[in-house]
Amino acid sequence: MRHILFFLLSISGVSLIAEPIPPHVGEFSFTDYASYYRSASNYLSAGTSTTNLPLGGYFQYINDTLSVNYDLLPALRINANLGYGNTTASNPFTTFTGQGMTEGGVAAQYWFRDKRWAIVPTIKAGFPFYRNSVVITSSQPNALIGDGTIWAEGGAWGMFYFHPVTIYGYLGYKYQDTGLASLLTTDVGASYRFDAARVRLGIRGETNVTQDNDTPNPFYRNFLIATADNFSEKFYSINPTLYEAYGEFDWLFTRMFEGGLGFAQSIYGNNAASGYTIEAMFRFRLPTGEAARQSSKQPEFNEPPAISEPIFAPAGVPEDEINPQPRPRTKKQKNMDQMMQDTERSLEK
């Protein structure tokens, strides 16, 4: 059995990577991830209290990310992704909108694992298709669609398997250029598996570990956010902190097709928007010749399973005992059984 959950790369804000699955050598997976975010308030100071946006306004962001994974080696997965965003910032007197390609990204994972645990070092990076600027070039600027920064992140997942429950956690460090604050990213949660589905609950977020270059003079950044995004601090805020609670569910229609839904709500922050996110995911897996050749082998824990095997084993079945089958009786065993039967018959006489 191999764990299957969202493998999603965020394009900005709180990290949306969820507990990854072990590689299946030679397998491609194509994922379309869509999310709808809506906010009507900000965390202006550290804590759980929020302040409403002026004039009863709101901020919403629709994102779609296409992601491609390729499992190059038994312990190595690589990823490429491309994002598109659409933003609306509105109040009763004016509405600003923005849309376009947000950024492209790459990532890689390497797996160290045993029957009961896995440690997965992860690196990832993103390059934006546009840059934010504090210079207002129009009397009605477009709403921001991201932080507009080149970023790189290194971190690691830790997972402990207590079938059918998995406990997982992530810790990473994210660097951003253009003087934006560096961030500590975290994700802690638990998942429960059924035969063809999985549900997970957790808390994820980020907080700054270095100061933003504009910390001494935040006026121009705050003016841009107020003018373009109706004061919402979803993007481009100074020294943000944001944590959210989430619940996600994914279902395997077949071995190759998977869908999922999720919901997240912010619970704590500072210099960040407070809101909720609705998520949807569809994934298609495509085996290659390498994966097909492995289908004739007997799977072991340290060998990725054949493409024809189920992603989810029955709940409670250890991962190294997938679909256990009785071993065929050898000729020697048959002869021994016959001798025992002959002995029993002679004793009866």
Residues 6+ apart with CB under 8 A from 32: 64, 65, 66, 67, 281, 282, 283
Containing H/E element for 146? none
- Residue 278: closest CA among 253, 246, 250: 246
Instruction: Evaluate whether 121 touches 49 at the Cβ level (below 8 Å).
Output: no
- The domain segmentation of the chain, as residue ranges, is 28-294
State both tokens at 91.
């109040």
The Cα-based distances of 181 to 46, 111, 235, 337 in angstroms read 16, 29, 13, 74
4 SS3 class: coil
- Tell the CATH superfamily of the 28-294 domain: monomeric porin ompg (2.40.160.40)
Contact 241, 266 (CB under 8 A): no
pLDDT tens digits for the chain (349 residues)?
Answer: 333 333 333 323 333 346 788 888 889 999 999 999 999 999 999 999 999 999 999 999 999 999 999 999 999 999 999 999 999 999 999 999 999 999 999 999 999 998 899 999 999 999 999 888 877 655 556 899 999 999 999 999 999 999 889 999 999 999 999 999 999 999 999 999 888 889 999 999 999 999 999 999 999 999 999 999 999 999 999 999 999 999 999 998 988 899 999 999 999 999 999 999 999 999 999 876 555 555 444 333 333 333 334 444 444 545 444 344 444 555 555 565 666 666 656 655 5
Provide the whole-model pTM.
0.79
Whole-number CA gyration radius for the chain: 25
